[in-house]
Structure 1
């Protein structure tokens, strides 16, 4: 992943996780450890936890909690502070991707490890996002 990021001028800036239990949106030890490791190379690392209770097709409100590293502890950012430059635009794009069922072709790195033919860079979804912008 590091090599691919360097070759394509990307930075690993954070880690996201969706817990198995719908009502659990708190980072576990694995999430904190992975995010802390990323923070060793990138000062503004974000740990993003999916809040499945807020996940809707309409994308009325952000379905994530953003954590930042503060004094070696992961703290949830104030949800009333905007962490998205253009929430309306993000909402529109997310709703469109959900409507087109892009999630059915989404490949995360675990999928790639199960079958290396699965492209974890998700070029088709990235093209769709760029097209929607």
Structure 2
């Protein structure tokens, strides 16, 4: 088996999408990253991304903290017996940077070893800006998958249907959360390490 099959679709839940965007909005001048959690559909045709777990907002190039977070995420979700780590998300520090850097690719490779259909989502700052202004309706993320040459490639516009938002209401709900500055409430693994009373699973974020 080489890289991810081009026929595989990626379905991004409202919860996962909004959490990763809020994480980036909370730290607009920093690179942020996190883990994508979900499952492969029974027919192996769709990676269902059901949740996002924010990891850090600094030192994104360092694997050890992320490996600790990955271990804890696997332990947390293994209790349900249904969900696994299926990918990674990243937002670059610079607004105009739309490249998937070496650190993000390295983390993607790490997850790929355990989940060959792994996805890496890179936040598209320009599309996010359009969403904030009420102009755009496209997901503010770019999908990268690993090809047969073991390189991470951007899934081009001719195949954007490979990534879909599960709930059509995601953008309007995101707009509401942006208006209410919901991003102030989100906690990442780095925050948790600084204060263990902060829960980086964010179980009450949308309650």
Determine the structure 1 residue equivalent to 2:151. Answer: 73
Gaps of 5+ in 2: 1-71
Residue of structure 1 aligned with 2:194, choices 107, 110, 114: 114
Q: Contact 2:139/2:165 (CA < 8 Å) preserved in 1?
A: no
Determine the structure 1 residue equivalent to 2:181. Answer: 101
Determine the structure 2 residue equivalent to 1:17. Answer: 90
TM-aligned CA deviation for residue 85 of structure 1: 4.2
Root-mean-square deviation (CA, aligned residues, Å) is 1.9
CA spacing shift, 1:99–1:78, aligned 2, 3 Å:
same
Q: TM-score, normalised by structure 2?
A: 0.56
Higher helix content, 1 or 2: 1
Gaps of 5+ in 1: 129-133
TM-aligned CA deviation for residue 49 of structure 1: 0.6
Q: Bigger shift: 85-94 or 20-29? A: 85-94
| 1:33-72 residue CA offsets vs partner (Å, 9 max, x unmatched) | 1111111111211101111122132371221111001121
Question: The residue matched to 1:43 in structure 2 has which SS?
Answer: coil
Higher strand content, 1 or 2: 2
1:7 aligns with 2:79: yes
Q: Contact 2:187/2:199 (CA < 8 Å) preserved in 1?
A: yes
